[in-house]
Structure 1
Amino acid sequence: MKTIRCQIEKVTPFNDAVYQVLLKPETAFDFKAGQYLCVVMGEKDKRPFSIASAPNSALIELHIGAAVSESYPMQVVERLQSASHIDIEAPAGDAYLRSYSRRPRILIAGGTGFSYIKSIVEQQIASGETINTKLYWGCRNEDAMYYQEIARQWHDDYEWLEFIPTIEQASANWQGKQANLLEQIKHDFISLNGYDIYIAGRFDMVGAAREVFRELGVEEAHLYGDAFAFIK
């Protein structure tokens, strides 16, 4: 990783718990779709966030889940709101898109894990890929699904991509699945053998997902998620 100075272009709330951040790097750097960066808060305080933009984007996009009660991410948001520039270290992460693979893909996001998935989908679009892809995004309720408009647009625009929005608390006019995310995947698949699977979300969800996927015959060499490096 290298340290890069960035101009803070925009910090905007998607809702009352998630912020969109746009950064303009002062020097160009290469990264792969699905990698992350670290916001430098101090010499020994570097906080990781998935890069939500694709590698060909002029701006770096982040999605930071920062409810008031969660001081760790909110400290980052407050720093970004009060400063004109921030240092980042990038790139990092081994769960990047394997563009060379011709296997069908399952992309799984829990909450702000969508930022990781967004980079991967936008890279697929930019590269003209047509690999069959199923995108699952699980949230507590519809308000928490802060960027569903763009995901539904992908579903409409690209025949190779199917978006399966899944929430636990649904209203009467909800257009999607009402279920626990992992339970929905168990319902939809008899076997996960043969798929490339990319996943991001809270560590406890990702850890539980791996156990569920093992029951469904997942090939773990084709299961990608940076959380696994921390939940051995």
Structure 2
Amino acid sequence: MSFKVRTEPGGHTFEVATGEGLLAAALHQGIGLPYGCRNGQCGSCAARLLQGEVVYPEGAPEALQGRSQDTCTTCQAVPRSDLIIRVQEVTTAAEVEVRTLPCRVVAKQQLNHDVIRLYLKLPDNQRLQFFAGQYLDFILRDGRKRAFSIANAPHDDALIELHIRHVTGGEFTDYVFDSMQEKTILRIQAPLGTFTLREDSQRPLIFMGGGTGFAPIKGIIEHAFHIGIERPMHLYWGVRARRDLYLPDLPEQWAREHSNLTYAPVLSEPDTDWTGRTGFVHEAVVADHPDLSGFDVYMSGPPMMVDAGRAAFGARGLAMDQMFSDAFEYAADSERKGDSSGR
């Protein structure tokens, strides 16, 4: 059994299974309801209940139990009937509140010779609402910022996942690799950026990542799987050598489990025993797709790769409004995204 929920003024409809939370069901079906803490404390997810009835689970904050009957805290509310709610939906990255928050390092994993994966946890009463593909800034003690892409999808938001590449002479990445310990407390500003999936398009998708440009693409692809996108997706990951494919099994697993995704790693300085694709990653894309006019293309990685892709793809019919990019610019002591932190 399930209940139907309609949002106003957005006019979207989604279903909630018996016993399922309203916010969880909405996010699973791609409906962008706002939220903050996801535990009933902050009130960011409050909606006007125009029709129907909800209950709150045992253990929910006491304040919710006495809440006005025409107000609904969606992160805790469980429908008991069909509903109509009035809520300002979040439909673009620009509509998500940028927040400054403390976080704690809960895991640090060396993925290969120069990439570390960090998992960050916000305080227990906080969750970060973001779109897949966005990034965060670490705010250093002196006010400088270091930017890294969020590598997980929004539905999996208990922790924030980052892929950090070591850059020689990079002060922050030296610290991450050499000194940072689990339980370290840091300060972040997030979410930032507009490198997000255009879900209303019906065109097939090409993702091209260079190095740790795989991180935001990972989040976008996992989000696409989660919301049930069935459009063809083609992933190209360009690195120098095999050892630079720091999560080699993951995209291969995606390709096995999802018939609409293909994957091609491309090495520019291939190992002697490498039998796969070689050269520059954008060249592999155009070799497979000489006419790109019917695609949406997402590029993430070094500026030289993004610039080369933009020129090559435009020459093969890709319109500018079907081309989305996230260039990691490395500029010492800059506050721009992708600075010397080694993002």
Calculate the TM-score normalised by the size of structure 2.
0.63
Q: Secondary structure at the match of 1:212?
A: helix
Say yes or no: does 1:3 pair with 2:100: yes
Q: Secondary structure at the match of 2:306?
A: helix
- Structure 1, residues 49-108: CA drift from partner, whole Å, max 9, x if none? 110000011111000110444445334545643762111110111111112221100011
Q: How does 1:65-84 map to 2 (within 5 A)?
A: 65-78=165-178, 80-81=180-181, 84=184
Q: Secondary structure at the match of 1:225?
A: strand
> Which residue in the other structure is 2:258 paired with?
158
Decide which structure has the larger Cα Rg and report it. Answer: 2
Say yes or no: does 1:226 pair with 2:226: no
Q: Secondary structure at the match of 2:240?
A: strand
- Structure 1, residues 189-220: CA drift from partner, whole Å, max 9, x if none? 21211211111001121122111111111111
Q: Which runs of 5+ in 1 are unaligned?
A: none
> Which residue in the other structure is 1:48 paired with?
147
How many Å separate the matches in 1 of 2:209 and 2:235? Answer: 8
Which deviates the most, 98-107 or 60-69? 60-69
Q: Secondary structure at the match of 1:52?
A: coil
* Match 2:197 to one of 94, 97, 103: 97
Offset at 1:130? 1.3
- Percent identical pairs in the alignment equals 33
How many Å separate the matches in 1 of 2:166 and 2:105? Answer: 18
> Which residue in the other structure is 1:23 paired with?
120
How many Å separate the matches in 2 of 1:157 and 1:82? Answer: 33
> Which residue in the other structure is 1:63 paired with?
163
How many Å separate the matches in 2 of 1:126 and 1:113? Answer: 21
Contact 1:138 1:181 in 2 (8 A): yes
Change in 2 beyond 3 A, CA 1:77/1:31? farther
Q: Secondary structure at the match of 2:235?
A: strand
> Which residue in the other structure is 1:203 paired with?
303
Offset at 1:42? 3.2
> Which residue in the other structure is 2:135 paired with?
36
What is the CA RMSD across the aligned residues, in angstroms? 2.1
Change in 2 beyond 3 A, CA 1:80/1:56? farther
Which deviates the most, 152-161 or 23-32? 23-32
Q: Which runs of 5+ in 2 are unaligned?
A: 1-97, 330-335, 337-343
Q: Secondary structure at the match of 2:310?
A: helix
Offset at 1:126? 1.3
Change in 2 beyond 3 A, CA 1:137/1:146? same
Aligned AA (2:112): N
Change in 2 beyond 3 A, CA 1:228/1:69? closer
How many Å separate the matches in 1 of 2:167 and 2:148? Answer: 16
Contact 1:12 1:20 in 2 (8 A): yes
How many Å separate the matches in 1 of 2:217 and 2:268? Answer: 20
Offset at 1:186? 2.3
* Match 2:245 to one of 145, 165, 177: 145
Aligned AA (1:13): Q
How many Å separate the matches in 2 of 1:154 and 1:99? Answer: 20
- Structure 1, residues 21-72: CA drift from partner, whole Å, max 9, x if none? 1101221121001111111113531111110000011111000110444445
Q: How many residues align?
A: 230
Q: Compare relative contact order (CA 8 Å, sep 6+) and give the higher one, 1 or 2.
A: 1
Calculate the TM-score normalised by the size of structure 1.
0.91
